Amino acid sequence: MSALLAATCLPTTFHNLFLSGAEIMSLSATLVTNYSASVPAIDRFTQPLVEVHNASFCNITVSYTHPGQNDALVVEAWLPTPGWNGRLQAVGGAGFVAGRSTPAWSAMSGAIADGYATVTTDAGLGTAADPTTWALLSPGNVNLYALQNLASVSLQDEAIIAKSLIKAYYGRPPAFSYWNGCSQGGRQGLMLAQRYPTAYDGIAAGAPALHWNNLFPSMQWPQQFMAMLGAYPHACELSAITADAISACDALDGLVDGVISDVDRCLRTFDPFTTVGRAFHCAQENGTLEISATAAAVINATWQGIRDAKGVQLWPGLNPGTDLTVGTVMTDCSSGTCGGVQLPISGQWLSLFVARDPGIDLSRLSHGEFDWLAHQGRQRYNSIIGTDDPDLSAFQRAGGKLVTFHGLIDQLVPSKGIEKYYNNVAGLLPDVHDFYRHFEVPGMGHCLVGGPSGGPLGLFDQLRAWVENGTAPEQTTVQVTDLQGNLQNRIVCPYPQTSGFEKSCAAETEARCWSCSGLLRAA
């Protein structure tokens, strides 16, 4: 059978490919043999690292256009020969990249190692992370077709094309189809559940970058706040206050290990202004500094979330314990005077898509001007890429299963955003836990990057068991590096349940010493 599959890895095998509303421009099929790769967990999110040894697969690359839209999209599928497990696993993108790039190819390598056929798309945007290459058709005119392709259209196209290629190659469609992604890939997964409910049977969506028109202003908020203050703290001050917060809130889960599990309680009980004046050693300055009122104010504003000029919170902030020296609150004091460091992705969204002016100086906006810019984004783009429709009833009726997860010290995307979304879904569908479960991971940064906690690397297999056997994930395991550098296994629970350490348990490194508390229902 494998020899026959290898022999049929030819463009003619796929000559019947059809996509409604599109025109196929080219299709290539190349047999790849003796393929090996090391795939880290950071590229798979819900699956462990894996080594690929001497794999063989048919690489099919499809280029197509939507006539009249002047676009050119590419879908790339890898179909194992031999060893196909009868299933499809699509992988998502990151930032402004829809997929088809080095991290996606790494994720696809992991998929074929596990026997999946796999697919990715570039949504017509290529592999560049910088949207300046495509955002504006001309000065002041946004390329809306390109944005729509990124937001949703390419996702349905990709699923249809992948299933058609699989059927042509193996003689049958996939028995089950899955989506796996984080950040942009997480947003894509939610868009699929919302708009294309039959595309995939199971969706794993990590740190979903949904609510774009609230998310990007919230990312920009710390820089806006510092600009309005006219003052910027040293990075070491931010680290010192963060360390104080961890010290004050660490034991709330019953175990001192450098991880804040109850971020809400920490927000209520720890005041960053109480640290003002404390002396500490600043490595960057190679000397002793005192924590400034500016640093406390910046951290407080970041934790409390974006506020309009009237003081009303527009979106939640990042959580205590988050490393603020990377991501949204970065500063640079190397010249002797501290200044802000613009996060590219939020600046690109606000300047290119909302202001439609790549030359706008975001550091000079008044509070009212900043509010208006955020408001314009919501007006123009919520229906295109907001990805916040809570009505998942069609996905539920189709039998789909959805798992989301989010690190509680995510440096970019506030974890409260997906929590808010889950609660909105639960408000419409009280039996939400029958098809959708969300996991909050204390101590984990954005898509497994940063923090003492690893990711939920068994969650994808749990999703597959839920789809295929009806076994819902009641908990999932993560590994945490404690303050002594030891690895501990523990569990995280479906929201709104929380996990806690059993003080009577002597084996601190074992997951059995943790249990879930609370009711599995809408919060």
d(CA 108, CA 43): 9
Burial status of residue 248 (CB atoms within 10 A of its CB: 0-12, 13-18, 19 or more) = middle
> Is there a catalytic annotation at residue 15?
no
> Is there a catalytic annotation at residue 183?
yes
User: 196 and 155 in contact (C-beta within 8 Å)?
Assistant: yes
394 CB contacts (<8 Å, ≥6 apart)?
A: 197
Is 480 strand, coil or helix? Answer: strand
User: 199 and 156 in contact (C-beta within 8 Å)?
Assistant: yes
Choose, from 56, 106, 177, 183, the residue flagged as catalytic: 183
DSSP for 493-522, please give it: -BTT-EEEE-TT-S-TTSGGGEEEES-SS-
Q: What backbone torsions phi and psi does residue 263 show, to the nearest 5 degrees?
A: -70, -30
Angle, helix 212-229 to helix 367-385, in steps of 10 degrees: 170
Phi-psi region of 440 (alpha: psi -120 to 50; beta: other; left: phi over 0): beta
> Is there a catalytic annotation at residue 410?
yes
474 CB contacts (<8 Å, ≥6 apart)?
A: 493, 494, 516
Phi-psi region of 277 (alpha: psi -120 to 50; beta: other; left: phi over 0): left
3-state SS, one letter per residue, for 219-261:
HHHHHHHHHHHCCCCCHHHHHHHHHHHHHHHHHHHCCCCCCCC
Cβ atoms within 10 Å, residue 366: 12
**Which residue, 152, 150, 146, 145, is CA-closest to 197?**
152
Q: In whole angstroms, how far apart are CA 510 and each of 178, 413, 499?
A: 30, 30, 13
3-state SS, one letter per residue, for 187-209:
HHHHHHHHHCCCCCCEEEEECCC
Choose, from 410, 433, 438, 453, the residue flagged as catalytic: 410
User: 300 and 293 in contact (C-beta within 8 Å)?
Assistant: no
Q: HSE of 90 in the Cβ direction (CA atoms, 13 Å)?
A: 36
Choose, from 66, 446, 453, 499, the residue flagged as catalytic: 446
Is 371 strand, coil or helix? Answer: helix
* Positions marked catalytic: 183, 410, 446
